[in-house]
Copies of this chain bind each other. A is one copy, B any other.
Amino acid sequence: MTTIYRVDGMTCQGCARAVTNAIKEAVPDADVAIDLAGGRVTVAGPADEARIRAAIEAAGFEYRGTAPAA
């Protein structure tokens, strides 16, 4: 199961790392890929949207919902 989330506020590799680590801390089995330019976070693994949203927001980034798969 792969879900794409739209996330605002990620502007550099440090942000990408922070979001990746926050999601992995919340959902250890998740495989996370960040598209900085597109403001998208692709998560393969458990589709626990509520937990992933909470992790993104707790890290200080803006959760904007899911996006259709490309």
A11 proximity list for chain B (CB < 8 A)? 12-14
Where chain A touches its partner, the secondary structure class is helix
Say yes or no: is A59 at the interface (Cβ < 8 Å to chain B).
Answer: yes
CB < 8 Å: which of B9, B13, B20, B25 contacts A17? B9
User: What residues of B have a CB within 8 angstroms of the CB of A25 in the complex?
Assistant: 58
Question: In the complex, what residues of B have CB within 8 A of residue A14's CB?
Answer: 9-12, 14-15, 18, 60-61
Question: What are 19 inter-chain pairs, A to B, with CB distance below 8 A?
Answer: A9-B14, A9-B17, A11-B12, A11-B13, A11-B14, A12-B15, A14-B14, A14-B60, A14-B61, A15-B15, A15-B18, A17-B60, A18-B19, A18-B22, A18-B60, A21-B58, A21-B59, A21-B60, A59-B59
